[in-house]
Chain A
């Protein structure tokens, strides 16, 4: 396939999604359930090596789904900061310090073994969650989110509300960039401003931004009223037709994926709750480091 076509991206309110992706073969509800599962499962996994496997799988999914990995660069500073802060928190506020397993001292502070391992496990959890979210929003457009919600029986008013909210986030960002470009066109350069100056300047964006939002809210309300939109999702007591859902029908393959995702999630949860297999103490890394430091 031509690389240009393969790399073609579509703009969404949140970022970009690939023009073509294997994920689009799955019904949006399967993608949503995968996202929910990847958002819940890390809470039941303490073992670092399994978390790392989880991260590796998500990264493979990124490649398979034709998502541009460069998108992850903006999260790098966040992931570094989070790593530092979590480790510092657990150094200053150690857990299970009564066990006395001190690995080494850093500037007069004891670095507790269990705390360090737990900080590592928590950090891996955060990476997993961030990657799962980025993956979901890199392979789903707003309409996919809405179709998924409507398929699982979310009330019309709720899905309509979410649709409007997501659209409004996009409008807000568009308006913001228009105002910023207009200011730049008039010669404004914020790079040399102090932090306080930047804060003050950011505040100045708010007035036109909110004025535009209020005006748009009025326009949308008038438009919906003119169309006779009912938030019940019914027209004369009859459920209104749903074009998007009619275009994206759930297949047997989708159902099989759904069952597999639900079964896998429930199994991991049961294993985590009833056995010690996914605990930090059951980790090979935990045991190896413990053996190295404390014999």
Chain B
């Protein structure tokens, strides 16, 4: 049996991929899924302005792995809507979260394309990319940005920033590692066969 890793991001000879309406629709659908998962997470185990269980980050990371920049756009739009529905953050705070949410999404997509990871998590390298970039690095940046925003808006005590950072990181990372791994392992084979799967950033 061949165990040689296949670069799923490489275009086949003569293959042409262009962004189109289907990508736009998929981005909207993915945003909708993110809204549901994000709202559920915000209401599940809230710790003030952060939640101890936010699987929404899995949608952000997986979205950018599957759908590139379209998933990246969805990753910062759906938290604005889910925060509004759950009331977990005022609109100005949600808008200020955008860079952090974008990081929580796009870093995974970048890493998998840059280092030729397989979204089906077939090898140890794929798992390392997923856990290292999609979960740990992206959540460190996201939690760092988010807790700083909360401090800027005076919503947390300055001394509590580290605690909020840790709470945010763990709340996102644990839930997203579980959900993200399941999504990538079981759904990637289906997604990769669709025309909306992006080998590049836009198509």
Q: Please, how many angstroms separate the alpha-carbon atoms of A80 and B190 in the complex? A: 42
Q: Are A169 and B33 in contact (CB under 8 A)?
A: yes
Q: Please, how many angstroms separate the alpha-carbon atoms of A229 and B28 in the complex? A: 15
Q: Are A89 and B32 in contact (CB under 8 A)?
A: no
A-B contact count (CB 8 A): 161
| Complex contacts, B203 vs chain A, CB 8 Å | none
Q: Are A203 and B31 in contact (CB under 8 A)?
A: no
- From the candidates B36, B48, B178, name the one contacting A126 in the complex (CB within 8 A): B48
A29-61: CB near B (< 8 Å → 1, else 0) gives: 000000010011011000000000000000000
B156-179: CB near A (< 8 Å → 1, else 0) gives: 111110011000000000000011
Output the least CB separation between B41 and chain A (Å).
12
Contacts A93-B160, A231-B24; A82 near B187 (Cβ below 8 A): no
- Which B residue's beta carbon lies closest to that of A134? B87
Q: Is B90 in the interface zone, CB < 8 Å from A?
A: yes
Q: Are B182 and A203 in contact (CB under 8 A)?
A: yes
| Complex contacts, B121 vs chain A, CB 8 Å | none
Q: Are B43 and A217 in contact (CB under 8 A)?
A: no
Output the least CB separation between B73 and chain A (Å).
9
Interface of A is mostly: helix
- Which B residue's beta carbon lies closest to that of A43? B90
| Complex contacts, A248 vs chain B, CB 8 Å | none
Contacts A161-B28, A168-B28; A43 near B153 (Cβ below 8 A): yes
Output the least CB separation between B56 and chain A (Å).
13
Q: Are B48 and A206 in contact (CB under 8 A)?
A: no
Q: Is A178 in the interface zone, CB < 8 Å from B?
A: no
- Which A residue's beta carbon lies closest to that of B164? A89
Q: Please, how many angstroms separate the alpha-carbon atoms of A164 and B182 in the complex? A: 26
Q: Is B27 in the interface zone, CB < 8 Å from A?
A: yes
Q: Are A82 and B48 in contact (CB under 8 A)?
A: yes
| Complex contacts, B178 vs chain A, CB 8 Å | 199, 203
Output the least CB separation between B194 and chain A (Å).
6
Contacts A89-B157, A164-B29; A137 near B85 (Cβ below 8 A): yes
Q: Is A156 in the interface zone, CB < 8 Å from B?
A: no
Q: Is B25 in the interface zone, CB < 8 Å from A?
A: yes
Contacts A81-B47, A85-B47; A213 near B29 (Cβ below 8 A): yes
Q: Are B25 and A165 in contact (CB under 8 A)?
A: no
For B45, B49, B92, the residue with the greatest tally of chain A CB atoms inside 10 Å of its CB is B49
Contacts A126-B49, A218-B194; A165 near B32 (Cβ below 8 A): yes
For B43, B46, B87, B190, the residue with the greatest tally of chain A CB atoms inside 10 Å of its CB is B87
- Among the 9-residue stretches A147-155, A220-228, A281-289, the one with 4 or more Cβ atoms under 8 Å from chain B is A220-228
| Complex contacts, B26 vs chain A, CB 8 Å | 214, 217, 221
Q: Are B158 and A95 in contact (CB under 8 A)?
A: yes
Top 7 closest pairs, chain A to chain B, by CB: A168-B32, A130-B87, A164-B28, A133-B87, A221-B22, A169-B32, A165-B31
A residues touching B (Cβ–Cβ < 8 Å)?
14, 36, 39-40, 42-43, 74-75, 78, 81-82, 85-86, 89-90, 92-95, 115, 118, 122, 125-126, 129-134, 136-137, 161-162, 164-173, 176, 199, 203, 206-207, 210-211, 213-214, 216-218, 220-221, 224-225, 229, 231
B residues touching A (Cβ–Cβ < 8 Å)?
20-22, 24-33, 35-36, 43, 45-49, 77-78, 81, 84-93, 153, 155-160, 163-164, 178-179, 182-183, 186-187, 190-191, 194, 196
Sample (27) of A-B pairs whose CB atoms are under 8 Å apart: A39-B91, A39-B92, A82-B46, A85-B46, A86-B48, A89-B48, A93-B159, A94-B157, A95-B158, A95-B159, A129-B88, A129-B89, A129-B90, A130-B88, A161-B24, A164-B29, A165-B78, A166-B81, A167-B32, A169-B33, A203-B182, A206-B183, A206-B187, A213-B29, A217-B25, A221-B20, A221-B25
